[in-house]
Amino acid sequence: MLIKVFVTPRKGILDPQGRAVEHSLKSLGFKGVSGVKIGKYIVLEVAAKSAADARDQAHKMCERLLANPLIEDYTFEVEGE
């Protein structure tokens, strides 16, 4: 099954990359842009017996390696559910 993981900085955590992109977009004339966050997008193929098993694996991978739960939030999608 295909798992898509989205990792972003938690609310209130300084995101210098996001701030730089937000500033640059405003400099380019995109005045309505705010709250830019730069994160990670990770795609994984996993062998799983069911969608529930794939979700369980994804959650464990995010907690143990893919995201830092102290400063990052994550969501994921399992394709083929």
CATH of residue 35's domain is: 3.30.1280.10
Q: How far is the C-alpha of 13 from the C-alpha of 8, rounded, in Å?
A: 10
Q: How far apart are CA 26 and CA 21, in angstroms?
A: 9
Domain count, the chain: 1
- Cα–Cα distance measured from residue 77 to residue 5, given in angstroms and rounded to the nearest whole number: 7
- Identify whether the C-beta of residue 48 lies closer than 8 Å to the C-beta of residue 42: no
Q: Quick: pLDDT tens for 46-68.
A: 999 999 999 999 999 999 999 99
For 34, the token pair is 């705010």
Domain range for residue 48?
Answer: 2-79
pLDDT category of residue 80 using cuts at 50, 70 and 90:
confident
pTM value?
A: 0.86
